[in-house]
Chains A and B, each alone.
Chain A
Amino acid sequence: MKKVLVVDDSLSVARQLERIINESGDLVCVGHAKNGAEAIKMNHSEDPDIICMDMNMPGMDGLTALRSLVVLDKTVKVVMVTSLGGVGDKFTEAIKLGAKNVISKPFEPDNVLNILRSL
């Protein structure tokens, strides 16, 4: 089973993603971080295969955390989950920094699973 860490300051988005992941049968959510700094700590303690991370969070935002994560951990795959996915510049910046994909909000559960399973 692939381990997934969810990073989002929104309790409701984290709940949705956790449910989609845990009901998939082949993925398991290993935790929920509320900002980029917590994500870096939990990546170390939980050792996930995949991180699903919001871009726009108070404290350390998703793109700043992505910059650190790709340097600190060469194996973890990061997918950004954001309402800003349709902004060409934001999408491009995330991919250039090393994100494997960008999921736009509002998302469909099947779309999330297809992307996570393709990694």
Chain B
Amino acid sequence: MAVKFFGQFLVEQGAVTSEALLHAIELQDRTNLKLGEMAVAMGYITADDIERAHTSQLSKDMKLGDLLVDLGILTPSQLQEVIDRQKATHLYIGEALVKVGALTPEKLESYLAAFKVDQAPYVADRIELPEWLANQHLWETTVDMSYKMITRVLGIQFRPGKCQEVSRLSTNHMVAAMDLSGDAAARYLLSVSAGLQKTIAKAILKEDNVDQEPPEVLEDTVMEFVNIVCGNVVAKASQSGLSLEINPPITIHPALNGLPVPDCYRALLFPIHVSDDQVMELALFIKQ
């Protein structure tokens, strides 16, 4: 029911043991050269050049390849050649498992097909976003994953509203928030009314009635839902080569005049229309 890494799917299915998977990962580690290592192997740069670029990385927030070009160590076409060679020689986890004898090529094919079916629900649909936004694919995935989880995990039917930029999030019963950091920085926020908080609690706790539950349990269920969405977004982003970290979720009770967007952030609001009296809003405070 979640976004998975192929190796994890195989262990879960009992196709390979975690020990065999570990052997295959070790083979991948030995085979798949990092960008700098590949550039050295192709004779374009030396180990000293990598050291120089790493030192420079301390003051410049750039990826190694871009930095090597910026420093004049690699030309843009050499960088492209290195990236192409990395892709062409990359040993995938399935191939590594065949090489260590944990899977036959035929079994690999059939498990790859089953994996595709398992992960099909998480192929992203198109979401319209403003042009100024960087990392469009990541935020599109984030909003799309939220919609899919609201339907599948919470069982809530809704109509998504049009994305709008805002300077303040309107007040509501509670907001669950989670910070994302790494290759992109943002705060993910889900604002819910009291009625929808109970709907979420029923779905997460798998209870028909949550009227007797203490407020901290009800709040925790919304935070847990946010944790599930953001964790799966990080998993999906990692498949596109983006590295993100998440912090544990928090609860915010906005003031009557709402929640202001902090300096250095721009905020996108995605209204989620459930019913006239129940309000749910997804917001992304994206660091500029």
Contacts and interface: CB of A to CB of B under 8 A. Distances in A.
B235 A84 contact: yes
Interface stretch (B102-110, B214-222, B262-270): B214-222
A108 B7 contact: no
Nearest to A20: B206
Contacts of A111: 12
Given A12-B204, A91-B8, A104 B248 contact: no
B178 to A, nearest CB: 10
Contacts of A87: 5, 231, 234-235, 238
Nearest to B122: A86
B198 interface: no
Given A10-B223, A12-B217, A86-B8, A56 B3 contact: no
Nearest to B11: A101
Interface residues of A, number: 35
Contact of A105 (B14, B220, B228, B243): B228
B252 to A, nearest CB: 16
B232 A83 contact: yes
Interface string B233-248: 0111010000100111
Given A86-B4, A87-B238, A88-B5, A12 B21 contact: no
Main SS at interface, chain B? helix
A89 B18 contact: no
Given A13-B224, A95-B18, A96-B22, A88 B2 contact: no
Contact of A12 (B12, B25, B205, B231): B205
Contact of B153 (A16, A86, A89, A106): A106
B1 interface: yes
A111 B259 CA distance: 40
Contact of B220 (A12, A86, A89, A108): A12
Interface of A: 9-13, 15-16, 19, 56-58, 82-89, 91-92, 95-96, 99-102, 104-108, 111, 115, 118
10 contacts: A84-B234, A85-B5, A85-B231, A87-B5, A87-B234, A89-B243, A92-B25, A95-B18, A96-B25, A104-B3
